[in-house]
Amino acid sequence: MADEDDIILSELDDDELVQQMHDDLYDGLKEEIEEAVNILVERGWTPYDILTKALVAGMTIVGNDFRDGILFVPEVLLAANAMKGGMAILKPMLVETGAPRMGKMVIGTVKGDIHDIGKNLVAMMMEGAGFEVVDIGINNPVENYLEAIEREQADILGMSALLTTTMPYMKVVIDTMKEKGIRDDYLVLVGGAPLNEEFGKAIGADAYCRDAAVSVEIAKEMVARKHNQMGA
């Protein structure tokens, strides 16, 4: 492998640079990731392409090696930190689209779970699509969700879980909403790597969303449908 110090990111072509970003993300090199994101922006890449092709794709490699016991928590934390550095640069570009206001979403990761990259990505893309997003962070007990959706008069509740041990907590939140008679006042979207469509249905969510782009599509469609129903 070439000596890292010899690599000048701006001299790489697009494919080489993306490949290098996957390596740098793997190695948790935040500054290099930030520099590379800026280079791709200057080269005219869309924020969405940078997110998916460089950052999310790189994180998938990290995830696979974490799963296989090649990487451990400290390394993955560094990778996550580097990813967040890149996302922070892209956020204003995704958010300033001038899209018309679509509705309001409260989003948070469930109790016992501290994964927030996917949630943050969904929040950014939803803002970019014109939704107002209130992010209540990680490790949220049911009370936090209920308090936030009421306080914010939200249209959508979004819950994220990345662990098979924490995803059942989404049902606790939905069941509590049902008990309080407020379930149907909100669209409930759920997401996170271990979930699937079947799970979303089983816990009574309105939709499971595979990724941030799908979340935006589904949210737009459902909000439009709700408005039409109300208008009819």
Binding residues for ligand B12, rule: CB under 6 A, are 56, 59, 62-63, 66-67, 73, 76-77, 80, 107, 112-119, 121-122, 158-160, 162-164, 189-194, 209, 211-212, 215
Residue 58 burial by CB count (10 A; 0-12/13-18/19+): exposed, middle or buried? Answer: buried
Distance CA 206, CA 155 (A): 12
Q: Which two tokens stand for residue 223?
A: 């909000």
Distance CA 59, CA 79 (A): 8
Upper half-sphere CA count for residue 221 (Cβ side, 13 Å): 10
Q: Choose between 12 and 117: whose C-beta lies nearer to ligand B12.
A: 117
Closest approach, Cβ 162 to ligand B12, in A, equals 4
Distance CA 174, CA 23 (A): 40
Q: Which residue has the tokens 């996302």?
A: 87
Closest approach, Cβ 169 to ligand B12, in A, equals 12
Contact 129, 180 (CB under 8 A): no
Contact partners, residue 13, CB within 8 Å, separation at least 6: none
Q: Choose between 173 and 189: whose C-beta lies nearer to ligand B12.
A: 189
Closest approach, Cβ 52 to ligand B12, in A, equals 8
Closest approach, Cβ 59 to ligand B12, in A, equals 4
Q: Choose between 40 and 216: whose C-beta lies nearer to ligand B12.
A: 216
Closest approach, Cβ 56 to ligand B12, in A, equals 5
Q: Choose between 16 and 217: whose C-beta lies nearer to ligand B12.
A: 217
Q: Choose between 45 and 145: whose C-beta lies nearer to ligand B12.
A: 145
